[in-house]
Amino acid sequence: MKNSTSALLFILMLAAGCGDAANPIGATDATTDGRSRVEDVEAEIRRLEQMEVAAVLSRDGAVLEKLWDAQFVVNNPDNQIVLAKPDPLDRPVMQRPRTSFTRDVEHITVNGDVVISMGNETVVPAGDLPSSGETVKRRYTNIWMKVDDGWKLIARHANVIPES
Protein backbone atom coordinates (compact mmCIF):
# COMPACT_ATOMS: atom_id res chain seq x y z
CA MET A 1 0.00 0.00 0.00
CA LYS A 2 2.91 2.35 0.75
CA ASN A 3 4.19 1.91 -2.83
CA SER A 4 0.72 2.65 -4.23
CA THR A 5 0.46 5.82 -2.15
CA SER A 6 3.95 6.88 -3.23
CA ALA A 7 3.08 6.27 -6.88
CA LEU A 8 -0.10 8.35 -6.60
CA LEU A 9 1.73 11.20 -4.89
CA PHE A 10 4.38 11.13 -7.62
CA ILE A 11 1.70 11.28 -10.34
CA LEU A 12 -0.09 14.16 -8.61
CA MET A 13 3.13 16.13 -8.19
CA LEU A 14 4.07 15.46 -11.81
CA ALA A 15 0.63 16.53 -13.01
CA ALA A 16 0.69 19.68 -10.92
CA GLY A 17 3.87 20.77 -12.64
CA CYS A 18 2.80 19.89 -16.19
CA GLY A 19 0.85 23.05 -17.03
CA ASP A 20 1.68 24.79 -20.28
CA ALA A 21 3.62 27.83 -19.06
CA ALA A 22 3.40 29.50 -22.46
CA ASN A 23 -0.39 29.30 -22.58
CA PRO A 24 -1.81 28.42 -19.17
CA ILE A 25 -5.54 28.40 -18.58
CA GLY A 26 -6.06 31.10 -15.98
CA ALA A 27 -9.05 32.26 -13.97
CA THR A 28 -8.78 35.76 -15.45
CA ASP A 29 -9.00 34.62 -19.06
CA ALA A 30 -12.57 35.40 -20.07
CA THR A 31 -14.55 33.88 -22.90
CA THR A 32 -16.99 35.81 -25.07
CA ASP A 33 -19.95 34.87 -22.85
CA GLY A 34 -18.27 36.25 -19.72
CA ARG A 35 -17.39 32.88 -18.22
CA SER A 36 -13.77 32.27 -17.34
CA ARG A 37 -11.78 29.67 -19.22
CA VAL A 38 -11.43 27.78 -15.94
CA GLU A 39 -15.23 27.58 -15.64
CA ASP A 40 -15.42 26.29 -19.22
CA VAL A 41 -12.75 23.67 -18.55
CA GLU A 42 -14.47 22.59 -15.32
CA ALA A 43 -17.78 22.20 -17.18
CA GLU A 44 -16.09 20.18 -19.92
CA ILE A 45 -14.35 17.88 -17.43
CA ARG A 46 -17.63 17.32 -15.54
CA ARG A 47 -19.24 16.36 -18.86
CA LEU A 48 -16.37 14.00 -19.73
CA GLU A 49 -16.48 12.43 -16.25
CA GLN A 50 -20.14 11.50 -16.77
CA MET A 51 -19.43 10.32 -20.32
CA GLU A 52 -16.78 7.98 -18.93
CA VAL A 53 -19.19 6.64 -16.29
CA ALA A 54 -21.79 5.88 -18.97
CA ALA A 55 -19.18 4.21 -21.19
CA VAL A 56 -17.82 2.06 -18.35
CA LEU A 57 -21.34 1.05 -17.34
CA SER A 58 -22.28 0.12 -20.91
CA ARG A 59 -18.78 -1.27 -21.63
CA ASP A 60 -18.43 1.02 -24.65
CA GLY A 61 -14.81 0.59 -25.70
CA ALA A 62 -15.08 3.08 -28.58
CA VAL A 63 -15.99 5.94 -26.22
CA LEU A 64 -13.38 4.89 -23.66
CA GLU A 65 -10.72 4.83 -26.38
CA LYS A 66 -11.53 8.50 -27.10
CA LEU A 67 -11.45 9.45 -23.40
CA TRP A 68 -8.46 7.45 -22.17
CA ASP A 69 -4.89 8.34 -23.07
CA ALA A 70 -2.82 5.59 -24.67
CA GLN A 71 -0.66 5.57 -21.51
CA PHE A 72 -3.62 5.70 -19.07
CA VAL A 73 -2.65 4.16 -15.71
CA VAL A 74 -4.94 3.22 -12.81
CA ASN A 75 -4.34 2.52 -9.14
CA ASN A 76 -7.54 0.54 -8.69
CA PRO A 77 -9.68 -0.26 -5.63
CA ASP A 78 -8.07 -3.72 -5.50
CA ASN A 79 -4.74 -2.00 -4.69
CA GLN A 80 -3.29 -2.87 -8.09
CA ILE A 81 -1.58 -0.56 -10.54
CA VAL A 82 -3.00 -1.30 -13.97
CA LEU A 83 -1.09 -0.02 -16.98
CA ALA A 84 -2.72 0.93 -20.25
CA LYS A 85 -3.32 -1.63 -22.94
CA PRO A 86 -3.71 -0.66 -26.58
CA ASP A 87 -7.31 -1.85 -26.79
CA PRO A 88 -9.71 -0.54 -24.10
CA LEU A 89 -11.69 -3.79 -24.43
CA ASP A 90 -8.65 -5.65 -23.04
CA ARG A 91 -8.47 -3.48 -19.94
CA PRO A 92 -9.67 -4.96 -16.63
CA VAL A 93 -12.48 -2.42 -16.24
CA MET A 94 -14.17 -3.92 -19.31
CA GLN A 95 -14.25 -7.35 -17.70
CA ARG A 96 -16.09 -5.96 -14.67
CA PRO A 97 -19.81 -5.76 -15.30
CA ARG A 98 -21.82 -3.35 -13.16
CA THR A 99 -25.53 -2.95 -12.63
CA SER A 100 -25.05 0.62 -11.43
CA PHE A 101 -22.28 3.22 -11.45
CA THR A 102 -22.56 6.87 -10.42
CA ARG A 103 -19.91 9.53 -9.88
CA ASP A 104 -20.20 12.75 -7.88
CA VAL A 105 -17.50 15.25 -8.84
CA GLU A 106 -16.77 17.23 -5.68
CA HIS A 107 -13.77 19.29 -6.70
CA ILE A 108 -11.87 20.19 -9.86
CA THR A 109 -8.48 21.88 -9.97
CA VAL A 110 -7.36 23.37 -13.29
CA ASN A 111 -3.62 23.87 -13.65
CA GLY A 112 -2.83 24.81 -17.23
CA ASP A 113 -3.28 21.77 -19.42
CA VAL A 114 -3.73 19.41 -16.46
CA VAL A 115 -6.94 18.97 -14.49
CA ILE A 116 -7.43 17.01 -11.28
CA SER A 117 -10.96 15.83 -10.54
CA MET A 118 -11.88 14.36 -7.15
CA GLY A 119 -15.03 13.00 -5.61
CA ASN A 120 -16.96 9.87 -4.76
CA GLU A 121 -18.46 6.99 -6.69
CA THR A 122 -21.08 4.37 -6.00
CA VAL A 123 -20.80 1.07 -7.85
CA VAL A 124 -22.86 -2.11 -7.80
CA PRO A 125 -20.75 -4.95 -9.25
CA ALA A 126 -22.51 -7.70 -11.20
CA GLY A 127 -21.75 -11.22 -12.35
CA ASP A 128 -19.34 -13.35 -10.32
CA LEU A 129 -17.29 -10.41 -9.04
CA PRO A 130 -16.61 -9.97 -5.33
CA SER A 131 -19.33 -7.82 -3.76
CA SER A 132 -21.67 -8.66 -6.64
CA GLY A 133 -25.05 -7.08 -6.00
CA GLU A 134 -23.72 -5.00 -3.09
CA THR A 135 -23.38 -1.22 -3.12
CA VAL A 136 -19.71 -0.21 -2.98
CA LYS A 137 -18.78 3.36 -2.16
CA ARG A 138 -15.37 4.70 -3.06
CA ARG A 139 -13.26 7.85 -3.40
CA TYR A 140 -11.54 8.69 -6.66
CA THR A 141 -8.99 11.06 -8.18
CA ASN A 142 -8.83 11.42 -11.96
CA ILE A 143 -6.10 13.32 -13.79
CA TRP A 144 -6.92 14.76 -17.21
CA MET A 145 -4.51 16.34 -19.69
CA LYS A 146 -5.23 18.61 -22.65
CA VAL A 147 -3.94 17.11 -25.90
CA ASP A 148 -4.36 18.05 -29.55
CA ASP A 149 -7.71 16.34 -29.96
CA GLY A 150 -9.24 17.26 -26.58
CA TRP A 151 -8.95 16.12 -22.97
CA LYS A 152 -7.62 12.65 -22.15
CA LEU A 153 -7.76 10.80 -18.85
CA ILE A 154 -4.11 10.00 -18.07
CA ALA A 155 -4.23 8.62 -14.51
CA ARG A 156 -6.74 7.50 -11.92
CA HIS A 157 -6.79 6.36 -8.30
CA ALA A 158 -9.81 4.85 -6.60
CA ASN A 159 -10.24 3.25 -3.21
CA VAL A 160 -13.17 1.64 -1.45
CA ILE A 161 -14.52 3.51 1.56
CA PRO A 162 -14.65 0.97 4.40
CA GLU A 163 -17.99 0.56 6.07
CA SER A 164 -17.98 2.02 9.56
Higher-pLDDT residue of 93 and 15 is 93
**Could you report the per-residue pLDDT of 20-63, keeping only the tens digit for each?**
444 445 444 555 566 799 999 999 999 999 999 999 999 888 89
How many Å apart are CA 14 and CA 71, to the nearest integer? 15
Q: How many domains does the chain have?
A: 1
Q: Domain holding 151: CATH number?
A: 3.10.450.50
**Could you report the per-residue pLDDT of 104-147, keeping only the tens digit for each?**
999 999 999 999 999 999 999 888 877 889 999 999 999 999 99
Please, what is the average pLDDT of the chain?
81
Radius of gyration of the chain (CA): 16
**How would you label 40-50 residue by residue, b for 16+ Cβ within 10 Å and e otherwise?**
bbbebbeebbe
- Its domain, for residue 138, covers 2-160
